[in-house]
Amino acid sequence: MSLNTVAINQGMTRFDGHAEVWLFGYGSLIYKADFPFLARRPASISGWTRRFWQGSHDHRGTQEAPGRVATLAPAPGAVCHGMAYLVTPEEFAHLDYREKNGYLRLAICIAFDDGGSAEGLVYIAASDNAAFLGEAPDAAIAAQIAGASGPSGPNRDYLLALAQALRDMDKPDDHVFAIERHLARLG
């Protein structure tokens, strides 16, 4: 699959005709909502785990030195915590462009921390996309993050902001926090 997934995402018709749709964010969408939304609620999805396995050639790295950003990996029994945003379909054009580097929309059940659930969507960069970097030891991921920077700034800022947002939500993530510890050792 190409790095640019905008056209593929624009072909998704699952939520056509809906006046509003819930969007689940698990990476930078937790702390950087650069789009208008109608509501925002802490939430989770089941069966997925957050992993720094996706390359960032357009935001937190370059073609020559890609950064690493979060995606989701299937994990039976796991729960991934994040933030849900109620948006109008007009926001998909911006979101599709923002998430264009290998991420595809996926319909998913979102459970809200304060009760209830709703069908919504999430952007996931699966292992078959051209920017997928895959699994690596936490120390190696931290070293790559330490050396990467792109148009959206240093890759380390992304990791540190995500770790802090998860702390603020009181939702620890062993993978994120382990990479953060390795990054701190690098200076």
- Whole-number Å distance between alpha carbons of 175 and 17: 38
Phi and psi torsions of 125, nearest 5°: -100, 100
Q: Are 65 and 147 in contact (CB under 8 A)?
A: yes
Residue 148's nearest CA partner among 64, 67, 58 is 67
20, 90, 91, 99: the active-site residue:
99
Which stretch of DSSP H or E encloses residue 72? strand 67-87
135 catalytically annotated:
no
| CA gap 160, 183 in Å, rounded | 9
The torsion angles phi and psi of 118, rounded to 5 degrees, stand at: -155, 150
Centre a 10 Å sphere on the Cβ of residue 106 and count the other Cβ atoms it contains: 17
List, by residue number, the catalytic residues: 99
